C-alpha cells in the first residue's frame, strides 16, 4: 500500500506562512499527490494535487521534491479558518483502482 508520513501536529501564527511536510518514499511514477483538509464535524475538503511540478491554486501551493519522495503544502497566510487536520494521500497502486489511503494527518493549530 502506498503510504505517507506526516507530523502529528503543527502550530502557526495567524497571517504567517505555513509549510506542511509529507514523506511518500514508496510513491510510484504515475501517482498523483493529493492534499485534503478536514474541519471539525465536516467531511474532508480537497485542497490541491500535483504530479511532478509545483502547483498553485487559490487555497494553497504544492511543492514537490525532484525525486517525488516528499512534498510540502504551503499556506501563504494562515488564518484561523485554516485550523484543520491536513491529509497528504496517494492512490493505492497495489489495487490498480482509485481508492485513497489516508494517514492520520497533521493537525494545524493557528494562533491569533
Partner 1 sequence: DTGVSQNPRHKITKRGQNVTFRCDPISEHNRLYWYRQTLGQGPEFLTYFQNEAQLEKSRLLSDRFSAERPKGSFSTLEIQRTEQGDSAMYLCASSLTGAQAQPQHFGDGTRLSIL
Residues of the shown chain interacting with partner 1 in the complex, contacts defined by CB under 8 A: 30-32, 34, 36, 41-46, 49, 51, 85, 87, 91-92, 95, 97-105
Q: Are 58 and 47 in contact (CB under 8 A)?
A: no
**Residue 5 or 13: which CB sits closer to partner 1?**
5
Least spacing, CB of residue 19 vs partner 1, in Å: 20
**Residue 13 or 28: which CB sits closer to partner 1?**
28
Q: Are 16 and 96 in contact (CB under 8 A)?
A: no
Least spacing, CB of residue 13 vs partner 1, in Å: 25
Least spacing, CB of residue 50 vs partner 1, in Å: 9
Write out the three cell numbers for 11: 502550530
Separation in Å, CA 1 to CA 22, 26, 80, 102: 16, 9, 34, 11
Least spacing, CB of residue 43 vs partner 1, in Å: 3
**Residue 79 or 95: which CB sits closer to partner 1?**
95
**Residue 50 or 78: which CB sits closer to partner 1?**
50
The end-to-end CA distance of the chain, in Å, is 39
Amino acid at each position: 500500500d502506498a503510504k505517507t508520513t506526516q507530523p502529528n501536529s503543527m502550530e502557526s501564527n495567524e497571517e504567517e506562512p505555513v509549510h506542511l511536510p509529507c514523506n511518500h518514499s514508496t510513491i510510484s511514477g504515475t501517482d498523483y499527490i493529493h492534499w485534503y483538509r478536514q474541519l471539525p464535524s465536516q467531511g474532508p475538503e480537497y485542497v490541491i494535487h500535483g504530479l511532478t511540478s509545483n502547483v498553485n491554486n487559490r487555497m494553497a501551493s504544492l511543492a514537490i521534491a525532484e525525486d517525488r519522495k516528499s512534498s510540502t503544502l504551503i499556506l501563504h497566510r494562515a488564518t484561523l479558518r485554516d485550523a484543520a487536520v491536513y491529509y497528504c494521500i496517494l492512490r493505492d497502486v497495489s489495487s490498480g483502482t482509485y481508492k485513497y489511503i489516508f494517514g492520520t494527518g497533521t493537525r494545524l493549530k493557528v494562533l491569533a
